[in-house]
C-alpha cells in the first residue's frame, strides 16, 4: 500500500544548509529553504557548552562577544530561572550555578551567520570550579558519591516517580511479590549474573533542528523536528512562564527519531534565544558531533540477576537490581527505571520476585527514551540467564520458555492478570522457523555455527491518562481530511491513520488525506509519538471520530429517505439503503446537505466528526511492593531467533538468519508490521554487534560515524523472516496494539545465546565485536 496522502506546508528546516534549493541567477550563490521561508531576517544560533562533566559556574563574561559585529543576542541561565522536564523538572534551559555533563548549555548566541555565532562563542569567557564527577551508577548510589542535584527534594515530580532527596537516586522503583528469600532453598538450580549495557546513540539521519520566532506581542512559534509537539508546547511554556495558548509548535515530518526527538532536548534553547530578538526567527541546528552527546542518548545499565527454578524447570524466584546510568538530568530516565521495574520478571510467570530499580544521576550525557524504552537493556541479561538456567537442569531452552512464559490469565509481576496473549504461539513459530534442535554444518572449517532464541514483553510506558484526539472533515468532492496530533517518523502512522479512518467511515483509502504538518494551533491533541501507542490510542480516537461523522451522515439521509439508520450503510463513499435500494454519493450531501421536499428548506450541512480516547483503568502501584490492580494498558509480546557463524580466525560474527514473531493483536497493515519487525531486528543487531558510546572521564570519545559503527545493508542477514500473531486486544481498534519498538527488544540476548551455542563463551555486555569475541575465545582456550 502506498503512503498516505498529506497536505503539506513547506518545511522551513534544512539540514545544516547542505541542501541547495536554488541558485541566484546573477551571482550563482546558493539559496536555501530557510531563505525562502524567512529571508534575511533569519538568525543563526550556536551554544556555548561545558567542557567539564561537573563544575560550579563562578563567572560568565560575554562582553567581548556582545561587541562582535553581527551578534544580535546572547543569553545565559540568568535570563531563564524556570525548571523544565517531563516526569521530573530537574534542569534549567541554560545552566545556572552548575554544569553537570560535557555539553551542558551555558550560553547561547544568535547572529546573522553561523560563522559569526561560532566566533562569538569562542569569545565568551567562563570561569568554573571543577568538581568530582560521578561516572558510574553504582558509585553514584553510594554515600561517598558527590551530590549532582543537591536540590532534588525541591523538584516538581510526577506522583508515580519516587526520588530520594539527599542522594543521586532520582527514582527507586520496587517490586515485592511473594517471598523471595524463602524460595531459594526450594530451587534445584540458581543462576546469578551481572551485565553491563553501554550507552548508545539513536543516530537519526536528520539531526535535531529547531527554528523559533517570538512576535512583538510575545506569541511564540517553534518549528522543530519533533515527536512531541504538544509536550514541547506545554513544557516550554511552563518553564518560561507563558500561556500554552501563546506557544505554537509546528512539526513537519521527522527524518528519524527512535525516541531521540521525544520530549524537549534542544528546542527550548532556540525559543529562549528568540525571546531576545523579537520578530526575528532563530535557527538552531545540532552538528553531527553535538547530536552524539548533547541530545538524548540511550541510558547505560548495570544489572544484577538472580533466578532459580525447581527440578522440573518451573521458575520459582527472581531477584534483580538495576542501576540505570541516567546521566546529568533524568526527566525521562525516571520512567525508564519504572518501566523496567514493573517488567522485571521478563515475559514469565514467577511467584516470587524482588526488584530494586534505581535511576541514578551521573555526569554522563542525558539519558532519554530510545526504541524499546529500557526493555532491550533489561532483556539483554535476563534472557541469557533463562538459557543458563535451562542448561543447568538439562532442559531444552525452548521447552523451558514454553513452560514458564506468560499465558492468558497469568499473574504478572505487579499482581495483575495477563490479558489474552499469543506469546506461546510466537515461541513455537520462531523455534520451528530457525530449525531449533537441528545442527547445521558451518560454511567453512574455521567457522562455528550456533542458534539462539529470546522472548520479550513491553508495555506502553506512559502516564495513566495519556490521551489522543482526532477530527475528520469531508470536502465538497467527498474526500476525507483527517486531523491527528501523532507524528510520522518513518513508521507509517499516517498510512495506518488513513486506513482506519477509511474503514470506519466507509470510504476508499485513496480518498483520505492526513492534515499535515502537525501544528498545535490546528491539529488535535496527542500526548506524544512514543511508547508504540499511536495505532492503539490515536487509532481509537480516529475510529471514534469517523464513526461520529458517519452517524451525522446517516441521520441526515435516514430523515430524508424516511428510513432508519439501521437500513443504511456507507460503502466506497456512497450511502446505500438495504431497504429501498436508494443510493447517494457522499459528495452530494456532506457540505450542502439535502433539500427538503417542496422547496421547504434544507437538512444537514458540513460534516465534521470528532472524538478522543484516554485509558481510564490504569491504577497506581504500591510504592513499597509495586503491586496493584492494573499497572499498564497492555503488553505486546514476541520472540526472536537467530542463526549465526563465528569466524575462529577473526572473531567476526555473521548473522545468517533472523526470525521474528510478535503478537500485534491485529495487523492493520501487515506489510508495514513486518517492516517494523525487520527494521527492529536490524537496529537490535546493530546494538548487539557494533554500537557503544566510548566514554572516558565523562567525555564521548567517538562522536562521529568514523568511529561509531552502525549496521549497514551489508550486515543484514540474507534470510530475514517476520511472522504475525493476532490475539486481539480488547480495547484496540479492530484488536490492534503496537509493534514499533518491540522488535528491537530481544535481539541482543538472542544473538548472545547463539554465540554461546556456537563457541561456548558469554560476555558481560554488548557490543559483541570481532575483537571482543576473538579475545574471549582465546581466554576460553578455543584458539591459540
Active site residues: 741
Cα-Cα end-to-end distance for the chain: 54
Q: Provide CB contacts within 8 A for 303, sequence distance 6+.
A: 194, 195, 196, 197, 320, 321, 322, 323, 377, 378, 380, 381
* Closest C-alpha among 226, 264, 267, 249 to residue 519: 249
Cβ atoms of 753 and 694 closer than 8 Å: no
Residue 188 C-alpha cell reads as 534445584
Q: How far is Cα 412 from Cα 630, in angstroms, rounded to an integer? A: 10
Cβ atoms of 594 and 603 closer than 8 Å: yes
**b (16+ CB within 10 A) / e for 82-107:** ebbbbbbbbbbbbbbebbbbbbbbbb
* Closest C-alpha among 604, 625, 651 to residue 761: 651
Cβ atoms of 247 and 222 closer than 8 Å: yes
Q: How far is Cα 628 from Cα 617, in angstroms, rounded to an integer? A: 12
Using DSSP bridges, classify how beta strands 300-309 and 189-197 pair: parallel, antiparallel or unpaired: antiparallel
Q: Provide CB contacts within 8 A for 458, sequence distance 6+.
A: 343, 372, 373, 375, 532, 635, 636, 741, 742, 745
Q: What is the crossing angle of helices 333-342 and 375-392, to 10°? A: 30
What is each CA distance from 179 to 183, 318, 354, 629, in whole angstroms?
Answer: 6, 10, 8, 19
* Closest C-alpha among 675, 669, 666, 670 to residue 726: 666
Cα angle: 210, vertex 212, 214; to 5 degrees: 175
Distance of CA 573 to the CA centre of its chain: 36
DSSP 592: T
**3-class SS at 600?**
coil
Place of cell 543458563: 388
Amino acid at each position: 500500500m502506498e503512503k498516505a496522502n498529506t497536505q503539506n506546508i513547506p518545511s522551513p528546516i534544512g539540514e545544516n544548509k547542505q541542501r541547495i534549493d536554488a541558485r541566484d541567477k546573477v551571482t550563482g550563490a546558493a539559496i536555501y529553504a530557510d531563505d525562502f521561508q524567512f529571508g534575511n531576517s533569519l538568525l543563526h544560533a550556536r551554544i556555548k557548552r561545558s567542557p567539564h562533566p561537573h563544575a560550579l559556574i563562578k563567572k560568565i563574561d560575554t562582553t567581548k562577544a556582545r561587541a562582535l559585529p553581527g551578534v544580535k543576542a546572547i543569553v545565559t541561565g540568568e535570563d531563564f530561572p524556570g525548571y523544565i522536564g517531563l516526569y521530573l523538572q530537574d534542569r534549567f534551559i541554560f545552566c545556572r550555578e552548575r554544569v553537570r555533563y560535557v555539553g551542558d548549555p551555558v550560553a547561547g548566541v544568535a547572529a546573522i551567520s553561523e560563522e559569526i555565532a561560532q566566533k562569538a562563542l569562542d569569545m565568551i569567557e567562563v570561569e568554573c570550579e571543577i568538581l568530582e564527577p560521578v561516572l558510574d551508577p553504582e558509585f553514584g548510589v553510594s554515600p561517598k558519591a558527590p551530590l549532582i542535584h543537591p536540590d532534588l527534594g525541591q523538584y516538581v515530580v510526577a506522583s508515580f516517580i519516587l526520588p530520594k532527596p539527599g542522594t543521586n537516586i532520582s527514582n527507586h522503583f520496587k517490586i515485592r511479590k511473594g517471598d523471595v528469600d524463602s524460595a531459594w532453598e526450594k530451587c534445584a538450580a540458581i543462576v546469578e549474573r551481572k551485565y553491563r549495557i553501554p550507552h548508545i546513540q539513536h543516530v537519526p539521519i536528520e539531526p535535531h533542528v529547531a527554528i523559533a520566532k517570538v512576535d512583538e506581542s510575545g506569541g511564540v512559534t517553534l518549528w522543530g523536528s519533533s515527536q512531541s509537539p504538544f509536550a514541547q508546547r506545554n513544557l516550554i511554556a511552563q518553564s518560561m512562564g507563558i500561556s500554552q495558548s501563546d506557544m505554537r509548535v509546528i512539526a513537519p515530518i521527522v527524518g528519524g527519531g527512535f525516541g531521540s526527538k521525544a520530549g524537549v532536548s534542544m528546542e527550548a534553547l532556540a525559543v529562549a534565544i528568540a525571546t531576545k530578538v523579537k520578530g526575528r526567527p532563530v535557527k538552531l541546528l545540532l552538528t553531527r558531533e553535538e547530536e552524539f552527546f548533547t541530545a538524548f542518548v540511550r541510558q547505560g545499565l548495570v544489572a544484577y540477576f538472580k533466578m532459580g527454578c525447581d527440578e522440573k524447570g518451573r521458575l520459582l524466584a527472581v531477584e534483580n537490581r538495576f542501576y540505570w546510568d541516567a546521566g546529568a538530568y533524568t526527566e525521562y530516565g525516571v520512567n525508564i527505571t519504572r518501566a523496567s521495574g514493573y517488567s522485571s520478571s521478563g515475559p514469565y510467570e514467577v511467584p516470587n520476585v524482588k526488584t530494586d530499580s534505581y535511576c541514578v544521576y551521573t555526569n554522563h550525557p542525558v539519558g532519554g527514551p530510545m526504541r524499546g524504552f529500557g526493555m532491550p537493556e533489561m532483556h539483554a541479561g535476563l534472557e541469557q540467564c533463562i538459557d543458563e538456567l535451562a542448561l543447568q537442569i538439562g532442559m531444552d531452552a525452548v521447552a523451558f520458555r514454553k513452560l514458564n512464559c506468560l499465558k492468558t490469565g497469568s499473574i504478572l509481576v505487579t499482581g495483575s492478570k495477563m490479558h489474552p496473549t499469543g506469546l506461546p504461539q510466537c515461541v513455537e513459530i520462531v523455534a520451528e522457523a530457525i530449525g531449533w534442535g537441528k545442527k547445521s554444518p558451518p560454511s567453512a572449517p574455521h567457522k562455528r555455527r550456533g542458534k539462539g532464541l529470546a522472548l520479550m514483553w513491553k508495555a506502553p510506558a506512559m502516564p495513566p491518562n495519556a490521551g489522543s484526539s482526532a477530527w475528520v472533515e469531508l470536502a465538497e468532492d467527498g474526500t476525507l481530511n483527517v486531523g491527528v496530533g501523532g507524528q510520522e517518523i518513518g513508521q507509517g502512522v499516517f498510512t495506518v491513520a488513513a486506513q482506519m479512518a477509511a474503514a470506519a467511515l466507509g470510504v476508499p483509502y485513496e480518498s483520505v488525506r492526513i492534515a499535515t504538518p502537525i501544528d498545535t494551533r490546528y491539529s488535535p491533541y496527542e500526548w506524544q509519538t512514543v511508547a508504540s501507542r499511536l495505532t492503539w490510542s490515536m487509532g481509537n480516537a480516529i475510529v471514534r471520530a469517523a464513526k461520529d461523522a458517519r452517524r451525522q451522515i446517516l441521520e441526515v439521509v435516514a430523515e430524508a429517505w424516511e428510513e432508519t439508520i439501521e437500513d443504511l450503510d456507507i460503502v466506497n463513499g456512497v450511502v446505500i439503503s438495504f431497504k429501498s435500494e436508494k443510493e447517494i454519493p457522499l459528495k452530494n450531501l456532506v457540505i450542502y446537505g439535502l433539500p427538503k421536499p417542496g422547496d421547504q428548506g434544507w437538512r444537514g450541512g458540513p460534516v465534521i466528526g470528532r472524538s478522543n480516547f484516554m485509558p481510564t483503568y490504569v491504577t497506581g502501584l504500591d510504592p513499597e511492593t509495586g503491586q496493584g490492580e492494573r499497572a499498564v494498558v497492555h503488553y505486546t509480546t514476541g520472540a526472536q531467533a537467530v542463526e549465526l557463524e563465528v569466524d575462529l580466525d577473526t572473531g567476526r560474527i555473521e548473522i545468517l538468519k533472523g526470525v521474528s514473531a510478535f503478537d500485534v493483536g491485529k495487523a492493520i497493515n501487515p506489510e508495514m508490521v513486518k517492516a517494523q519487525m525487520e527494521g527492529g531486528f536490524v537496529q537490535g543487531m546493530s546494538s548487539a554487534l557494533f554500537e557503544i558510546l566510548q566514554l572516558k572521564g565523562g567525555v564521548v570519545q567517538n562522536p562521529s560515524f568514523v568511529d561509531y559503527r552502525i549496521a549497514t545493508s551489508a550486515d543484514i542477514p540474507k534470510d530475514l523472516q517476520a511472522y504475525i500473531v493476532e490475539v486481539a486486544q480488547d480495547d484496540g481498534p479492530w484488536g490492534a496494539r503496537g509493534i514499533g519498538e518491540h522488535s528491537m527488544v530481544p535481539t541482543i540476548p538472542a544473538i548472545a545465546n547463539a554465540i554461546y551455542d556456537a563457541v561456548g563463551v558469554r560476555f558481560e555486555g554488548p557490543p559483541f565485536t570481532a575483537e571482543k569475541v576473538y579475545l574471549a575465545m582465546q581466554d576460553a582456550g578455543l584458539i591459540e
